[in-house]
């Protein structure tokens, strides 16, 4: 189970709440469609949303929601999906043959995690390492920004460092390649008043070093290379009831032919309640303008991808394929200008 974010409370839901939830789910009919990441029908509702409406009254309650659904396949509602869960969990098992290798324990701790069953599993999806290898092998000029609301940035960079040292059991970086890793953690804060955005790092010793203009933030990210951690403002998003207008900002400029920003996130939702994990902002010169959720959908597969966890587990080429598609789609758009 993921550690609670700032402001969340990991408590059990009450017996009264659970009883109400059970009553609701007696009328619940599982749609026959295969698992999907988008709403299959306009009037359909997920178990997550159903329980969210019932128990989430304050931002702190979201921790209780995540705690209960963290063991979803062990609940009566989730039992039908247990086989699907175990099949994909098995694909994430750390290779047994590698457990016998004489690798230092600290390397295993960077690349693998131990589950409740005592077994080791991949910490990062092999598809992520495959993407890094592809970018390096093709001599791309690129930066991978770890956009996170949590504190896992250093662990991710340590895992990538171990991968670059050829310590991963199934994925290998191209020979004679170099990927810079920024040890500094960057932070992107949001405010209601001007400046609305502030990009800085923990070593910033002056307000003059803080970047506040959206265009400059975009250009700064475009100039980076290697692996960089950026901690987004979870408290701001939480205090605005997880509205898309307070989420992770994603600036895009269709006129920019030098840099192409693509965000992968599994918390991208375009639903009626307005909650979403990203805030898409169109850059026109020095002006940054938020676009509507309806407009944002048109840029899916160009500047952002709603990450499909099950596909990522099954297909090690998932990220590569989607990056190529995003590039192809942007090329078509720019050629029409």
Q: What is the pLDDT of residue 1?
A: 43
- Say whether 332 sits in a helix, a strand or coil: helix
Digit-coded pLDDT (tens) for 313-325: 999 999 999 999 9
Digit-coded pLDDT (tens) for 66-91: 888 888 888 888 888 899 999 999 99
Q: What is the pLDDT of residue 65?
A: 85
Report whether pLDDT(7) > 60.
Answer: no
- Say whether 136 sits in a helix, a strand or coil: helix
DSSP notation for 173-190: PPTT----EEEEEEEEEE
CA angle 252, 257, 258 (to 5 degrees): 90
Question: Which has the higher per-residue pLDDT, 7 or 331?
Answer: 331
Q: To which H or E segment does residue 255 belong?
A: none
Question: Which has the higher per-residue pLDDT, 109 or 281?
Answer: 281
CA distances from 107 to 149, 218, 288 (A): 25, 35, 43
Question: Which has the higher per-residue pLDDT, 286 or 59?
Answer: 286
Report whether pLDDT(2) > 70.
Answer: no
What predicted TM-score, i.e. pTM, was given to this entire model? 0.89
Give mean pLDDT, residues 158-178: 93
Q: What are the DSSP E strand ranges found in the chain?
A: 112-114, 120-122, 143-148, 181-190, 197-201, 226-232, 248-252, 263-265, 278-284, 287-290, 304-306
- Give the dihedral of Cα atoms 89, 90, 93, 98; nearest 10 deg: 180
Q: What is the pLDDT of residue 50?
A: 85
- 278-284 and 287-290 beta bridge pairing: antiparallel
Give mean pLDDT, residues 282-298: 94
Beta bridge partners of 148: 231
Digit-coded pLDDT (tens) for 21-56: 888 877 777 787 778 888 888 788 888 888 888 888
Report whether pLDDT(239) > 50.
Answer: yes
Exposed / middle / buried, residue 120 (Cβ in 10 Å: 0-12, 13-18, 19+): buried
- Give the residue among 144, 96, 152 at the shortest CA–CA distance from 124: 152
Rounded to an integer, what distance in angstroms lies between the CA atom of residue 77 and that of residue 259? 45
pLDDT bin (cut points 50, 70, 90) of residue 274 is: confident
How many Cα atoms within 13 Å fall on the side-chain side of residue 285?
1
Is residue 264 within 8 A of residue 312, CB to CB? The reply is no
Report whether pLDDT(3) > 70.
Answer: no
Q: What is the pLDDT of residue 43?
A: 80
CA distances from 1 to 83, 149, 336 (A): 19, 16, 47
Least confident of 4-8, 123-127, 173-177, 237-241: 4-8
Give mean pLDDT, residues 142-163: 94
Digit-coded pLDDT (tens) for 53-69: 888 877 678 788 888 88
């Amino acid at each position: 189970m993921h550690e609670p974010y700032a402001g969340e409370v990991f408590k059990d839901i009450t017996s009264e709440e659970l009883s109400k939830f059970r009553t609701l789910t007696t009328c619940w009919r599982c749609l026959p469609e295969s698992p999907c990441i988008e709403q299959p029908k306009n009037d359909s509702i997920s178990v997550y949303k159903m329980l969210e409406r019932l128990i989430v009254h304050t931002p702190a309650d979201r921790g209780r929601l995540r705690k209960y659904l963290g063991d979803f396949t062990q609940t009566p509602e989730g039992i039908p999906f247990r086989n699907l869960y175990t099949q994909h969990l098995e694909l994430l098992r750390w290779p047994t043959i590698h457990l016998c290798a004489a690798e230092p324990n600290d390397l295993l701790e960077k690349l693998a995690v131990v589950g409740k069953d005592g077994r080791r599993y991949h910490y990062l999806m092999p598809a992520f390492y495959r993407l890094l290898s592809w970018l390096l092998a093709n001599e791309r000029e690129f930066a991978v920004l770890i956009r996170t609301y949590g504190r896992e940035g250093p662990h991710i960079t340590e895992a990538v460092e171990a991968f670059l040292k050829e310590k991963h059991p199934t994925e290998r970086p191209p020979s004679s390649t170099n990927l810079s890793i920024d040890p500094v953690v960057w932070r992107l804060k949001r405010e209601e008043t001007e400046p609305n955005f502030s990009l800085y790092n923990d070593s910033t010793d002056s307000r003059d070093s803080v970047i506040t203009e959206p265009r400059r933030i975009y250009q700064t990210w475009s100039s980076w290379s290697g692996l960089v951690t950026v901690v987004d403002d979870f408290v701001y998003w939480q205090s605005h009831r997880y509205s898309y207008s307070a989420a992770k900002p994603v600036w895009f400029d269709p006129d920019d032919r030098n840099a192409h920003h693509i965000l992968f996130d599994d918390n991208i939702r375009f639903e009626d309640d307005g909650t979403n994990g990203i805030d898409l902002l169109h850059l026109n010169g020095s002006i940054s303008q938020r676009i509507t959720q309806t407009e944002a959908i048109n840029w899916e597969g160009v500047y952002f991808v709603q990450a499909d966890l099950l596909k990522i587990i099954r297909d090690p080429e998932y990220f590569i394929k989607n990056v190529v598609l995003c590039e192809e789609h942007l090329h078509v758009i720019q050629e029409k200008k």
